[in-house]
Structure 1
Amino acid sequence: MPAIQHLEKQQAITKQFAEILHFTLSFDDLKMTSPAIQNDFSYYRRTLNRRRMEDTSAAVAELSDGVDLPDDVANRMSLFYANPTPMLNTLSGAAEKLLQEWALFRNPSLTLDNMTNCFSAMASVCGSSVTILNTRPGSRVKRLSCFCLRVMVGVIILYDHVHLLGPLLSRPPLMYSTKHFNEDSTPKATKELLS
């Protein structure tokens, strides 16, 4: 079944996946614009360790057990926040794990091609929606357009994470516009065209 038909047939799941992508990129956007989160968490851990070393009485230790994080949870949180895009990293890891697990069961319904075709179809639908929405006025339309743009970016990034070649050309033509224009690898035809 073509990917677009699959998405039409599973609209509720597609909408939920779009909501997950929107949340993922929103969370990562907040994390990237708030680098103090990682520093604050490190400060919390240092303070907690210092307090544990100073507190020798059992009564104080008993009171703090309800508030303090266990070391294993704190370590996992620290590793999670160390990544620049922790939610997207988790989501792409889950997609890769899903592909591996389904490959073990030799289930032909979920392959890398099927998954990336669905990602491509979602990106295409979102792009078309944005084009249509941008012709209409209103704040609700603008929010929906931003939602579609974020989901489109999310599925393209997710496609890039799960597929070896990625969604874009290996040598995009924009590469030669400014930074790489004077390099030896730039084709002569491109140099002549832009000169």
Structure 2
Amino acid sequence: MHFTLRFDELKMTNPAIQNDFSYYRRTISRMRINNLSADAGNEVNNELANRMSLFYASATPMLKTLSDATSKFVSDNPDLPTENTTDCLSTMASVCKVMLDTPEYRSRFTSEETVLFCLRVMVGVIILFDHVHPAGAFVKTSNIDMKGCIRVLKEQPPSSVEGLLNALRYTTKHLNDEATSKQIKTMLQPN
């Protein structure tokens, strides 16, 4: 989960990657037309290039892939109760929140990277939960303390968590549902 959100943060802060890849594809295409491709073994074939373009077209490509895979797992295994997956995800979010919110646990973190690790995992499992649970993560009946999780995020330096807050704002399915409280929507409004 940490890798997933870290990858997506890097992708979001480097939007030129899509343009660079498009430039590469155009250049390879021109070289093929002009028979200038001397080292065809190092080229990305068209099928893979198309798949890579679709992958990078998403704002958070790794998280989308992980969310799609988790949702597919839940739908492909109707004999396994959805609650097994959602309970696991909500427990992970709660553990991360408690580790960051409780002074006796937080005092054990001497590295800012450890704090960011916990924040990324917390946000990632919230987003997965929101994609898998029929009602989502933002309803009052959710097993996730969303207000507490958002509060923990907002207590961090804004520069280190803006990408995580944006991930909650823009990659969740149920944030804009009517069942989501106005307080949670207000807490997630960009400043």
Q: Same fold (TM over 0.5)?
A: yes
Among 72, 75, 97, the alignment partner of 1:97 is: 72
Map 1:68-83 to 2 at 5 A: 68-83=43-58
Residue 39 of structure 1 corresponds to which residue in structure 2? 19
Cα distance in 1 between the residues matched to 2:130 and 2:20: 32
Q: Which residue of 2 aligns with 1:161?
A: 131
Q: Structure 1 residue 130 and structure 2 residue 97: aligned?
A: no
Q: 1:26 to 1:65 in 2, by over 3 A?
A: same
User: How many aligned positions are there?
Assistant: 147
User: Counterparts of 1:138 and 1:98 in 2: how far apart (Å)?
Assistant: 34
Which of structures 1 and 2 has the bigger CA Rg? Answer: 1
One-letter amino acid of the structure 1 residue matched with residue 61 of structure 2: P
Cα distance change, pair 138–118 in 1 and its aligned pair in 2 (3 A): closer
Superposed counterparts of 1:40-55, under 5 Å: 40-55=20-35
Give the AA of the match of 1:78: S
Higher relative contact order (CA 8 A, sep 6+): 1
1 CA distance for matches of 2:61 and 2:3? 12
Q: Structure 2: how far apart are the matches of 1:97 and 1:171? A: 25
The equivalent of 2:155 in structure 1 is: none
- C-alpha displacement of 1:139: 3.6
Q: 1:80–1:120: structure 2 CA closer, same or farther, 3 Å change rule? A: same
SS at match of 1:96: helix
In structure 1, the gaps of 5 or more residues are 1-20, 179-195
What is the alpha-carbon distance in structure 2 between the residues aligned to residue 29 and residue 155 of structure 1? 16
**5+ long unaligned stretches in structure 2:** 140-178
**TM-score normalised to the size of structure 1?**
0.69
Change (3 A) 1:175 1:158: closer
The AA in structure 1 aligned to 2:183 is L
Trace 1:1-195 onto structure 2 (pairs within 5 A).
21-55=1-35, 61=37, 63-103=38-78, 106=79, 110-132=80-102, 135-136=106-107, 139-140=110-111, 142-169=112-139, 170-174=179-183
Note the alpha carbon deviations across 1:32-85, whole angstroms, 9 max, x for none: 010000000000000110111011xxxx55x32111111101111011001111
**AA aligned opposite 2:44:** L
Deviation at 1:127, TM superposition (A): 0.6
Relative to structure 1, the CA distance from residue 36 to residue 131 in structure 2 (aligned partners, 3 Å threshold; closer, same or farther) is same
Closer, same or farther: CA 92–135 of 1 in aligned 2, 3 Å: closer
TM-score, normalized by length of structure 2? 0.70
Which amino acid in structure 2 is aligned with residue 92 of structure 1?
S
Question: Percent identity between the aligned chains?
Answer: 48
CA–CA separation in structure 2 for the residues paired with 1:176 and 1:85:
21
